[in-house]
Amino acid sequence: MTVSNPGDRDDELIEKLEHIDKWLNSISHVSELPQTKPKPASAQPPQKQQPILQKPSPSPQRFSSQKPPQYTGQRPAPQKPTNQPHQRSFPQRSNRHRGNRSNPPRPGLQSCPAIQNSTQFHGRPQSKPVVPFKQKHQSAQTGPYLQKQSNNSMNFRKNNQKNRRFSHRNNVVQTYGKPVQPAPSQKPKPFTFTKDVLRIIPLGGFEEIGKNMMAFEYEHDIVIVDMGLQFPTEDMLGVDYVLPDATYLIERKHLIRGVFLTHGHLDHIGGIPYILPKLGFPPVYGTPLTLGLVKKHLTEFGFLKQSKLITFKPEDHFRAGAFDVSFFPVTHSIPDSVGIVLDTPCGRVVHTGDFKFDFTPSGQPPSNLQTLSKVGDKGVVALISDSTNALEPGFTTTEKVIAENLEKIIEETTGRLIITSFSSLIGRLQNIIDSALKLNRKIFLTGRSIENNIAIAKQLGYIKLPDGLVQDIRKLNKYDDAHVLILTTGSQGEDMSALARMASNRHVQVKIKKGDTVVLSASPIIGNETAIFKVINGLCRLGAKIITNKDLGIHTSGHGKQEDLKLMIRLMKPRYLIPEHGDFYMRTAHKELGKQSSIPESNILILDNGVVAEIRKTGEVVKTKEKVPANYVMVEGPDRSEVASHILMDRQLMAENGAVVVLFYVQAKTFRLRAKPLVESRGFVFFDLKNKVTDEIKKTGERAFVQFLKANPHKVNKDALLVYLAQTIDRALVRMLNKKPLVLPILIEV
């Protein structure tokens, strides 16, 4: 490119800085290592001359001490994480961090001819060992899925995965009493397999509450249980959802005989539209309500036509390769929940799914101890069981008590009532509907998920809704306050939910006023407390009376507490227990419950995502050292593209310390600096420090530029130069201010 008049540079600079967002999308990711090591300038102390180049790399293959480093053209992986136990959970949370993405583009972002040929360094210098996201269980395999992730700089750990040989036997899912479902016609890959061993492969839900997915593999047959998603944590800036890592399954998709779903919560079905196409659309089995919800998601993604959805009832069973799959009903916070029984050549494995014991539930049959006991009577080798409430003593409260308490509130309230709950709590919604009918209130729905879920549940017969009871929210003001009951979304403080909009007076139809009562019939999910509190504050400020579960018993968990979990163990009588659906400490608490229920400690396996357990034909269950890929796969945006972890790191750096752009004007032919670098920053330092810091950045940048050119007099590798500049400036800023902004050096050849 050319910048015709260097005298106009300041104006141009301002304009150019407006385009940084666009540049971020178009840059190539470069290695920190120049092709030729720049030799240090003689005036510089030796240990500070090439720290970037000498820094031990996390990738031993690429950065051997024996061999001079070569420029690879790829961004290097961040520092290898230690083997410390994973301590973070990824609970559901609001989408309050998504605001930035939806901001309209600023004017002038569409074109920037002045910088089209500029070269720039994007990203954090290698010198900062920030590894803010999960980077465990890395695989050295290079399936197409992983290749995408390897660009995410998330691949650290070599996988011990042994290749498995595949002998293609019968590419058909056989069924008993059901139509034969053809499995995807994929060309077999040459995998080896261990004979007579059932492999249990947790791919999600073992280090968090969310993104549940598990694979069971016997020789050349795989069945999958659940395919969920997870909502991002606060540090995942701009991310919409987190998915389980399906790399292992993608590489073996021709072996997959079916996906069996336990129930219709998003942490169990939300990953289907993202992952199912990558697996070649294997058949998906679920109960009617579960599949009703799955259908809705697949339709939104345009995948319904290709998907093979097979509805089952709890009494059905299927043959899927080496697996005989049957089910048992469980009570949970959504109807139609089941546990899954896998009868295999290595014995019976039971996966409970999410459950609690409720003998007076709403909208679903009560827990049936006899059925469960029968499952256990046939001999269970391993029980894989829900750990969400393993730290909570006692039994969970029955839904009947909640229904009674809610009805009492509806009866005693004189003004408008606004009730929020989880939109999948169909039974509770039915109770509220029944009470509204009884107490002469009309129901108004607001919030997409509650409207959708009620529509699906009504269509499938899970909710009874008398005609005329639900009224259009736009007619709200035509009714007396005493006859109004608004059912809404937003129990977790989600930023765009109907309740949050009411709290901030942004809701078009519902304007909160004195005399309104807002009932939060839900408990905060860990991580959502601040958002919920903000909503409550807003509602309170507008004059509403707030009733939460703390005030009255108006919510109960869908997950069994300690006594429920022990009861399940007693009914199933397993030889081995594998706690799932929970973070490490929850699963460890579940282990204690297992011990109290007469399971020897050695027979309780605490697995992590990606850690493979094996059941031998002898009935022995062992936790192996094998780890399959189990990274966090993050998606965002309307195209649901996967988000590379280095992008998140950059976002985090900018959020914490701002950004510094350093422009180097160089002569195109000689590659010499034409002037001192220009510096512009955002969110970095206060005005009174700015001049001093800017001067230092200019000096450091210029010095580094000259040094690099001296060390590479014949050929300049621009990418390596940019990395060197960024790292040198980065270190200078740390020395001066102990701050690490995102440093973006940009070369402009004139």
Q: How far is the CB of 423 from Zn ion (least distance, A)?
A: 13
**Six token digits for residue 488:** 């809404």
Taking the least distance from each CB to Zn ion, the nearer of 456 and 743 is 456
Would you give the distance in Å from CA 346 to the centre of its chain? 33
| Stretch touching Zn ion by CB under 5 A, among 185-193, 261-269, 528-536, 722-730 | 261-269
Measured from the CB of residue 558, what is the shortest distance to Zn ion in angstroms? 6
Stretch touching Zn ion by CB under 5 A, among 156-164, 257-265, 440-448, 617-625: 257-265
Options 39-47, 68-76, 264-272, 359-367: segment touching Zn ion (CB under 5 A) = 264-272
Interface with Zn ion includes 267 (CB under 5 A)? yes
DSSP readout, 415-467?
A: S-EEEE--TT-HHHHHHHHHHHHHTT-EEEEESHHHHHHHHHHHHTTSS---T
How is residue 64 written in tokens?
Answer: 């051997």
Nearer to Zn ion, 254 or 590 (CB): 590
Question: How many residues line the site for Zn ion (CB under 5 A)?
Answer: 3
Q: Which of residues 425 and 531 has its CB atom nearest to Zn ion in the complex?
A: 425
Taking the CA atoms of residue 564, residue 570, residue 575 and residue 576 in that order, the dihedral angle to the nearest 10 degrees is 10
∠ CA 152-157-159, nearest 5°, is 110
Instruction: Identify which of residues 354 and 516 has a Cβ nearer to Zn ion in the complex.
Output: 354
**CB nearer to Zn ion: pick between 581 and 740:** 581
Looking up tokens 């998003």, which residue turns up?
266
Residue 452 or 509: which CB sits closer to Zn ion? 452
- To the nearest whole angstrom, how small is the minimum distance from the Cβ of residue 463 to Zn ion? 18
Closest CA to 747 of 681, 684, 667, 660: 667
Between CA 153 and CA 649 the distance in angstroms is 10
**Binder among 265, 428, 442, 501 for Zn ion (CB under 5 A):** 265
What is the distance between the alpha carbons of residues 73 and 382, in angstroms, rounded to a whole number?
48
**Closer of 392 and 730 to Zn ion (Cβ):** 392
Cβ 354 to Zn ion, closest distance in Å? Answer: 4
Compute the least distance from the CB of residue 607 to Zn ion, in Å. 17
Q: How far is CA 312 from CA 105, 279, 280, 341, in A?
A: 48, 22, 22, 14
To Zn ion, the closest distance from the beta carbon of 350 in angstroms equals 17
Residues 325-384 that bind Zn ion (CB under 5 A): 354
- Least Cβ distance, residue 176 to Zn ion (angstroms): 28
Q: Is 660 left (phi over 0), alpha (psi -120 to 50) or beta?
A: beta
Nearest distance from C-beta of residue 348 to Zn ion, angstroms: 23
- When the beta carbons of 119 and 337 are compared against Zn ion, the nearer one is 337
Q: Which is nearer to Zn ion, 75 or 297 (CB)?
A: 297
574 and 350 Cβ atoms separated by less than 8 Å? yes
CB of 364 to Zn ion, least distance (A): 13
Q: Which two tokens stand for residue 705?
A: 């530029």
Three-state DSSP state, 149? helix
| Least CB distance to Zn ion at residue 263 (A) | 5
Phi-psi region of 161 (alpha: psi -120 to 50; beta: other; left: phi over 0): beta
Q: Interface with Zn ion by CB under 5 A: which range of 219-227, 260-268, 295-303, 496-504? A: 260-268
Residue with tokens 């004007």: 665
- 114: CB partners within 8 A, 6+ apart: 1, 3, 12, 15, 16
Q: What whole-number distance in Å separates Cα of residue 31 and Cα of residue 25?
A: 17
Task: Work out how close the CB of 388 gets to Zn ion at its nearest, in angstroms, rounded to a whole number.
Answer: 7
Helix boundaries (H) for 138-286: 144-150, 247-251, 266-269, 272-275
Cβ-based neighbours of 88, under 8 Å, separated by 6 or more: 134, 208, 233
CB nearer to Zn ion: give 353 or 376: 353
CB of 330 to Zn ion, least distance (A): 10
Specify burial of residue 534 (Cβ count, 10 A radius: 0-12, 13-18, 19+): middle
Q: Which stretch binds Zn ion (CB under 5 A): 1-9, 263-271, 543-551, 618-626?
A: 263-271
Q: Using CB under 5 A, which of the segments 259-267, 365-373, 435-443, 585-593 binds Zn ion?
A: 259-267
Nearer Cβ to Zn ion, position 251 or 354?
354
State in angstroms the smallest separation of the CB of 425 from Zn ion.
10
Strands 659-666 and 678-682: antiparallel
Looking at residue 175, the DSSP 8-state letter turns out to be B
Site for Zn ion contains 392 (CB under 5 A): no
Of residues 210 and 258, the one with the C-beta less far from Zn ion: 210
Residues 428-487 within binding reach of Zn ion (CB under 5 A): none
Segment interacting with Zn ion (CB under 5 A) among 47-55, 262-270, 445-453, 639-647: 262-270
Taking CA 679 as the corner, what is the angle to CA 677 and CA 683, rounded to the nearest 5 degrees? 165
Beta carbon nearer to Zn ion, 583 or 749 = 583
Binding site for Zn ion (CB under 5 A): 265, 267, 354
